[in-house]
Amino acid sequence: MSVLVGKDTRLCVSGITGREGTFHALNNRNYGTNVVAGVTPGKGGQDVEGIPVFDTFHAAVADSGANTAMIFVPPRFAADSILEAQDAGIELIIAITEGIPAHDELRVFNHLSHQSGVRLIGPNCPGILSPGKANVGIIPASFFKEGNVGVVSRSGTLTYQIGNELARAGFGNSSIVGIGGDPVPGSSFIDIIALFEADPETELIVMSGEIGGSAEEEAAEYIAANVTKPVVAYIAGFTAPPGKTMGHAGAIVSGTAGTAVAKAEALEAKGVRVGRTPTETAEIAAQILSA
């Protein structure tokens, strides 16, 4: 088992003819992901190393049966690309694009919240990897192997580090989901933790958060009430100066709200062990799994 992407994924890449879109679409295909189509307006009828390109998502879905979209278009076009994918019947949309205006993100969030049968991951995320099954995004798959640890993270880089530490300790992953660090994410920690809780392959969940917002505190309440599997967490930003944006647009602390200390305390109060470094987090996870 895995969550969100797997052997049944049929991927369509928006922006496939751009440099980054081409590189990662082919990289995903080389991993084993079934990349069935691409979309670039005005370039329909072309192909990218055998992957057919269409002018619209509607045409791509009708021809290829795509059920998953990866968005690699520039920020000013990304919101419309996401909404077009949803309108064409795509069930899972993974928005890699960074720098989408917050107003556009809010427009997308409000629209999708009234739709059924569609899930958005991102924007500004590294994507999703189910080791041995499918890779949709920019996650360096060679770092990971199949296993029983589910990882959900706001930060792509920290995802890679924690996953690599686990792999070096001899443990693999069921799926790795990067939800992105923007102020208006399509999916939350709670959304993904619920999927891991229901996944029989996942035996332990690692949550990698960061300063800013209240997503980690909300996740702590959800975990206490709904999750039976062990959860280990890491919060980036213990040394971040108050009021300064650190890395992601959503990682800004106001006063004492949203600090790494406050988030760690909220999680630990609900029984979630929190590592102070990615290495310590992986070590805690390994200890629990070994026991």
pLDDT one-digit tens code per residue, 95-125: 999 999 999 999 999 999 999 999 999 999 9
Q: Which residues have a catalytic role annotated?
A: 248
CA 279 to chain centre: 21
258 is a domain residue: yes
Given this model, what pLDDT does residue 74 score? Answer: 97
- Same structural domain for residues 276 and 176? yes
pLDDT at residue 281 is higher than 60: yes
Task: For residue 98, give its domain range.
Answer: 10-121
Which residues contact residue 155 at a Cβ distance below 8 angstroms, ignoring those fewer than 6 apart? 178, 181, 208, 210, 236, 247, 248
- Same structural domain for residues 174 and 276? yes
Average pLDDT in the chain: 92
- Same structural domain for residues 99 and 170? no
Q: Which of 161, 154, 138, 228 lies closest to 187, judged by CA?
A: 154
Amino acid code (one letter) for 183: P
CATH number of the domain at 226, please: 3.40.50.261
Q: Which of 65, 68, 70, 79 lies closest to 4, judged by CA?
A: 68
Amino acid code (one letter) for 205: I
For residues 37-57, average pLDDT: 98
- Contact of 139 with 178, CB cutoff 8 Å: yes
Q: How far is CA 282 from CA 11, 143, 166, in A?
A: 31, 14, 6
Asked which of 24-38, 206-220, 246-260 is least confident by mean pLDDT, the reply is 246-260
